[in-house]
Each structure stands twice: as structure tokens, then as C-alpha cells.
Amino acid sequence: MATIAILHANHKHPAYTGASLRAGALGGTESSAIYLAEALARRGHRVFALNRLKTSSVESGVTWLPLDSRSDLPPVDVAIALNSDRLYWGFKARHKLTWLHTPPTLRKFLKRRNALALLWHRPMAVLLGGYHASTLDRRVPYRRRVEIAHGVAQIFFAPEPDATPRAAKAVFCSRPSRGLDFVARLWPGIRAAVPDAELHVFCPQSSLDEAAARIGGAGPGVQIRGGVARAELAAELRTARVMLIPGDLDETFCLAAAEATASGVPLVTCGIGALKERVRHGETGFLASSAETFTRHASEVLADDALWLRLNRACIAGSGLARWDDRAAEWERLFSALDACDAPALEPFLVAAR
């Protein structure tokens, strides 16, 4: 059993615990921190999770604490800091792993306090995939760079392919700035081809006005749903026919796309950022090279029942997605390799080895 601390400064975002995940909408970074913390706790580890909380609590085996109380932590075996190397100050950890979720720009690391923390603590960088790894400048002096993808929560996995086609319901599940205006611009053409189609937009509650502005004159069939709890989102995805998600250069994994695929929902995407890693073209969705092909693929998936049933089967049977318990086991293997200074055991994780 290891003692693990997961730390997140989450500036400009609300504090959260595991209860937040079940009660309302959360972003991918926050939900990933919760899922990993709880999965590690289920596997018998002692897990502390710290963010901008005001009070402490214990939920699902995880001890949730205010970030400012990290100096009160016992010595930990592994510290996992989200997106910031400055969170390691003030307590002792045998291994330090910076779990990056955003594209890490060189300019950010050159800031004086960031550079000092990185050079002093020399943590390992944990990246989410090939695209994400490509965004980290080789000059940034992390001790090592490894890849571990996100998991998907059990509630999103459909038990079997659908027996009959779903209704013509498209979904967009992301921040409005990540391509909603592109989808809205194409929606009239998609709906002209599939007159009964609907587009349901799920986004943070704080972004409702932005979503409405980006939707603009998209015409009928569009519903702005805002943010919903994970269980409700899982239920919505079980009735969705396609996810329309162009992608964004800031998208380093796109948990929403992975959750859709696990739910049997094919993707239509431009493959920008990590979205090219979330779909197998022609099997679990389509990579569109232009607005015209995006419109065509979206219309075909919404209208062609035989095509949709084939894509749905492939999403459920061969997506290659892992549950969070499986990802927690990967993290455990990484911890063990670090403890043993076992270079062969560490090699499969290394970015340079991929």
C-alpha cells in the first residue's frame, strides 16, 4: 500500500470532492482527478486529494483536504501534481509526478517561479498520449516523460451493441470555444439532409451565454442543455446517435469523446489536437478533412441505419478504451518501477520508447 497525494490548484474553478462528480457537471481535469483518486483508494492505497477546498472530508476512501494544508501531510510515497510543479513545496514525497492535462508551453516554464520549482524538484511528467507529448518542448527539464491515457468511468460503457438504430440526436459535449461555432455553422446543412435531426449542446453552466452566442443563427433543432451530472450525461449518451466535435489544439485527450465511444456513440471530428487519437476512421467514426466532408459524414451517420449499427458495434467491441481501475493499475506499475529503479519495467511508459 502506498501513500499518495493528488494536488490541484484549480485556479478560477470551484473546489471539488468526489461528491461534486455525482452532484453536477465537472470538467475533464477535475473528473479525472476524482476517478483516479477513488480507483487508487479502491485498490487499497491511502489517498489524499487536495484542491481549493475550505473543509476536509472523507469520501469513497479518499481524504479530501484544503490545498493549504499540504504541509500537514505525512511523508508520502507519491505526489501527483496537476499541471503545476510549484505544488510540491512544503511536504515530503519520495516520487513526484506532474500530471499534465493542458498543452505545456515553454513560455509557462520560463516564468521564474515555475522554473525554480521544476529545477528544484525535478519531477517526472505524465502525459496523456502522443499528441500531448508532442506539445511538450524537449528543453523543459523534466526528469522523465511518460504516457498514461485517461480511463473511462464504468457508467459510460454500454454492455452490448444496440439492436435497433437510435433517433437522429447529435451531441456536442465540450467548452463552446472548442468548435461549437464550427458545428453551428454546418448544422443547417446537416438538418437539411436529415430534417428530424436534433443537436443537444452540453457545456459548463458558466458558458451558457457563450454557447448561445456561438450557436447564433444555427436554426431549428438545437437545444442548449448546459452542464449535467455524470450519471445523467451517461444516460444522454445512451440515446445519442453521433458526437460532433471538431477538436481543438488545447485538447490533449478529450474525455468526452472517449466517454461517447464507450457509450456506442461514433464521432465525427476534424481530428484537431488529440481528437485524431480518439477515432478510427470508418470504424468508430470519421475524420473529416473539410467542412463539406464533416457535413456529409454527420448527415450519413444520422440517416444511414446500417452504417450507424456498424459504427456502434465497433465502438463497443473494439474501442480499446480502459476503465479507471485498469488505468489505476498502470499507475501502480509505474510506482513499482520507480520504487525498484527498474529500467526495463519503466521503459513501456517512456515517451521516447513509443
Q: pLDDT band at 155, cuts 50/70/90? A: very high
Question: How many Å is the Cα radius of gyration of the chain?
Answer: 21
Burial of 354 (0-12, 13-18, 19+ CB in 10 A): exposed
Name which of 91-95, 108-112, 212-216, 219-223 the model is least confident about.
Answer: 108-112
Q: pLDDT band at 113, cuts 50/70/90? A: confident
pLDDT at 354 over 70: no
Percentage of the residues of the chain whose pLDDT score is greater than 90: 83
Q: What pLDDT does 61 receive?
A: 97
Q: What pLDDT does 169 receive?
A: 98
| Residue 260 CB neighbours (<10 A) | 29
pLDDT at 51 over 80: yes
Give residue-wise pLDDT tens across range 134-145: 999 988 999 999
CA angle 173, 103, 41 (to 5 degrees): 70
Place of cell 452532484: 23
Give residue-wise pLDDT tens across range 286-331: 999 999 999 999 999 999 999 999 999 999 997 689 999 999 999 9
Write down all domains in the chain, each with its CATH number in brackets.
Answer: 3-151+323-349 (3.40.50.2000), 154-318 (3.40.50.2000)
Which of 91-100, 107-116, 213-222, 225-234 tops mean pLDDT? Answer: 91-100
Given 3-state DSSP classes, what are the helix, strand and coil percentages for the chain, each rounded to the nearest 5?
45, 20, 35
Give residue-wise pLDDT tens across range 1-22: 899 999 999 877 789 999 998 8
Name which of 197-201, 274-278, 286-290, 318-322 the model is least confident about.
Answer: 318-322
Q: Helices 255-262 and 305-318 meet at what angle, rounded to 10?
A: 110
Q: What pLDDT does 107 receive?
A: 80
